[in-house]
Structure 1
Amino acid sequence: MSYAHLDAYSRLLRGAHEAAASGRAWPDSPRHLIKASWHRSLSAGIDPEGKSAPLVYDLSRIRDIRKTHPLLPLLPLLAETLSGLACDTGHVMIVTDGDGRVLWREGNHSVMRRADQVGLAAGHQWSEESVGTNGIGTALATGRPVHVYSEEHLMRVLHIWSCSAAPITDPDSGRVIGCVDVSGTARSLHPATVALVSATAKLAETQLALRMHERDQRLRRRHESLRGRPGILLSSTGRVISGDPSGGLGPRVHLGEHAHFSGQRLILRDGTSALLEPFADGFLLRPSPAAEPPALSLSFLGESPPSATFGDHDRPLSLRHAEILALLALHPHGLTAEQLSFHLYGDDGNPVTIRAEIHRLRAQLGDAIAAKPYRLVCPISADFLRVRTLLAANDPVALVRAYPGPLLLRSESPEIRRERDELEAQVRACLLRRGSPEDLWTYAQTSSGRDDYEVLERLAALPPTDRRSAAARSRLA
């Protein structure tokens, strides 16, 4: 883009930015990626007049945090690829964790001094929820490489900066574990830098995959040497390595937060149970000898009241009981009364209240809930767990049929709200990325999709004779 084009785009952005900051309609809009990010950022309460990214890590602990991060072994590779560019051209290279918290920084010293003024430094968080539209946060929010230029940042103090960033996904866990970013002053950072940053992120993911396969091979050899211990071999993250030739378990088994307990019972996605045993650096799944109790089915998505089916009996549930069952389903290895209390009420919770609620719930579900810690010990299926599985399969048609709306919409539990928001964001992203107009129309009938600006914009672009286009234009108006 020439300087003349940049000047014209900057003028457009300044007008749009002033309108967005004052809550007026935007006379001209930035490109679609930035427009959507501004909407997310403003909805998160970001102040365009903010001065810096928040400091979220005690700097005295940064060294310990770095030591345990999976990107630490790859830092020389990232630095060799990008820090030379940063030092030579007056830029700074940033590496964050999966939540946008800065762990490492290298580059031009004078630029780093300027970066300190806005918190582009170790320990500060650059998610969209913290500072609004920016390369790191928007790359993590969209799951793809992005370039954010000057006035495209929502916070005015960042308008002298431009940045190119790309997320890094761990092939073992399937989760985004970090982001690599090159930042500089607006005119010095060429938009093509994003291609180099993206290639660097892919190179890091390739190295992570090679290390993962080496660990798998060591684990297989060790398991094969112990012929007397059959079972399904899992990685430490629950990824299936061997022992499931039919693929019935899928690519991974959800282990929950307490997989280090030996002999824990897991309910698999086909409803059968198995015992989880630590094995070397992974786990073995072995058939459970116990008789299967009746199955528990949970319906917690959408606007209908939460309900459960246990065996042959349908049961309506209070919101509190539904929240408890949802938390136990999300933590298969169990939660103590203190943990449940914190997940439900935050710091104001009382474990005594939780024990009383569990007692009432067990009166309805009997032996389905075990104690010490509280956990579900019956085959379980849940509509929100099925949506998780469909997200992993990238199947938008099945996904939109299985997702009638957000998880426990009236719940104020901090943990349920986090899961609800995460599930909603992933469903929406999958449908925007891969969904057909009919899929988007179905999603637009849910409580969260009815007024979704980006979804309605897609539908409004359909031919004017299409009823979905007319309805979407009406909602937008």
Structure 2
Amino acid sequence: MSQRSDLRQRRVRLESEWSRWVPRMKTAGSHPIGSQELRRDVTESWMRSLNSVDPARDSAPVHDGDGVHHRWSGSPLRGPVDGLADELRGIAEDAGFVTAVTDESGTILWTCGGPTMRRRAERVNFAPGGRWDEPDMGTNALSLALRTGRPSTVFSAEHLVTALHGWVCYCAPVRGPDGRVLGVLDMSTTWDRSNPLAMATVRSLVATIESRLRVELPRQAPRTVGPVNLACLGSEQAVRDGVPLALRPRQVEILTLLALEPDGFSPDRLRYALYGDRAVTASTFKAEISHLRRALDGGVATRRYALTAPVSCDAAEVLRALKQGDTGTALRLYRGPLLPRSQAPGIEEWRTHLEVAVREAVLASSDPEHALRYGERAPYDVEVHEHALRLLGPRDPRRAVAAGRLATARD
């Protein structure tokens, strides 16, 4: 009874500190000073998280719901976890926990637990497909363990998101034989069941998984990973081996810029290309780079940001075709403006460059089909329609199409 009373008092104190500081941090960027209750790693995470996470959000987002089964099937963690599944379920059900395994990006791939705790967890999307990294779900044990590479416990109102204040989470990263973090193992329950022995259990289970990885991974055939296919003209999607990568719009912007400029960017230049003169913290910028690097299995260089993994980009292919004088291929690939929803200065600059380059190639071409095809997506471009009419013979039935477009453009 004394332990529950102590936990209740601690929860009340943390709620008070959360209410005191989080609104200030959100509006004025004030950092907690002189608080006895708040750990520095928690408050620093609050500061980073508030750039992208609303504390009032009710559940974790899903970025890759359709691909979770595929990702779990190919995960190196699946074999060791499957071998421990009965033990993991038994511990979770007996102790009233829900247990989860994520990949290196913070996406939950597998869970187990009793029906009551599973239902509670599903309300906040603590379930396969849920994204629990810091930019998506703020301060929590999973995000801290991924960021620091160390075991982490987050209790009640140490969570940034208020929907998680009724929880306590114990988490530790799982490393492969090469030392790379492959994901995390988390055990979570309601705050009143907080128990320091839970972290010892998590550490022990992670040690067992890692020992099995050392035995199993050398026996596995090397995993071949195909190139990333980036579609950024009229759309925004990155796919590898048929599976969409779980990237936020900002990370797609970064990937696009790196694909268009293979020589790379200095950190300051890339930051300006993304945010312009907006006041954005260095930690927010670096978090976006880190997430993209994890999604590409480390395929972004660290000092000068450049791609080190193969990426096929439709916009880069358009530029290559134009350089080779192949206007037909450029028009076939040019399906629309570059990342049409993006307002990043660097993307806007490249968007204009591509639009002008394709249009100039059309006006320089002696093939009327090029002007007609481009004219479909540029209905008010008088010069393009006039060019089509000049190239079409007097008896060419396509003249009617070009003439009609020209009349519409002139109205």
The TM-score range, normalised by the shorter chain, is 0.5 to 0.7
Tell me which residue corresponds to 2:8: 7
Tell me which residue corresponds to 2:22: 21
Moved over 3 A (4+): 1-5, 24-27, 212-215, 256-259, 297-303, 325-337, 353-356, 410-414
Change beyond 3 A, Cα 1:298–1:80: same
Describe how 1:49-198 pairs up with structure 2 within 5 A: 49-59=56-66, 61-172=67-178, 174-198=179-203
8 A Cα contact 1:183 1:189, kept in partner: no
Tell me which residue corresponds to 1:398: none
The range that moved more, 25-34 or 163-172, is 25-34
CA shift digits 1:394-417 (9 cap, x unpaired)? xxxxxxxxxxxxxxxx99579xxx
Q: Provide the aligned length of Structure 1 versus Structure 2.
A: 261
CA RMSD between the two structures:
4.0
- TM-score scaled by length of structure 1: 0.47
Tell me which residue corresponds to 2:41: 33
Which amino acid in the other structure matches residue 165 of structure 1? C
Larger Rg: 2
User: Whose helix fraction is larger, Structure 1's or Structure 2's?
Assistant: 2
3-state SS of the aligned residue for 2:71? helix
CA shift digits 1:87-123 (9 cap, x unpaired)? 1121111111111111111111111111111111111
Describe how 1:289-308 pairs up with structure 2 within 5 A: 300=266
Change beyond 3 A, Cα 1:123–1:326: closer
Change beyond 3 A, Cα 1:202–1:354: farther
Q: Which runs of 5+ in 2 are unaligned?
A: 229-262, 270-299, 326-343, 349-411
Which amino acid in the other structure matches residue 83 of structure 1? R
Task: Tell me the distance in 1 between the aligned counterparts of 2:12 and 2:309.
Answer: 55
8 A Cα contact 1:102 1:126, kept in partner: yes
Structure with larger RCO (C-alpha < 8 A, sep 6+): 2
3-state SS of the aligned residue for 1:147? strand
8 A Cα contact 2:167 2:191, kept in partner: yes
Change beyond 3 A, Cα 1:6–1:335: closer
8 A Cα contact 2:98 2:111, kept in partner: yes
Task: Tell me the distance in 2 between the aligned counterparts of 1:198 and 1:17.
Answer: 29
8 A Cα contact 1:41 1:133, kept in partner: yes
CA drift at 1:9? 2.6
Q: Which runs of 5+ in 1 are unaligned?
A: 220-234, 238-255, 260-296, 304-324, 342-350, 360-409, 415-477
CA drift at 1:199? 2.2
Task: Tell me the distance in 2 between the aligned counterparts of 1:112 and 1:6.
Answer: 23
| Identical residues among aligned pairs (%) | 29
CA shift digits 1:122-168 (9 cap, x unpaired)? 11111111111112122111111111111111111111111111111
Change beyond 3 A, Cα 1:40–1:329: closer
- TM-score scaled by length of structure 2: 0.54
Which amino acid in the other structure matches residue 146 of structure 1? S
8 A Cα contact 2:92 2:98, kept in partner: yes
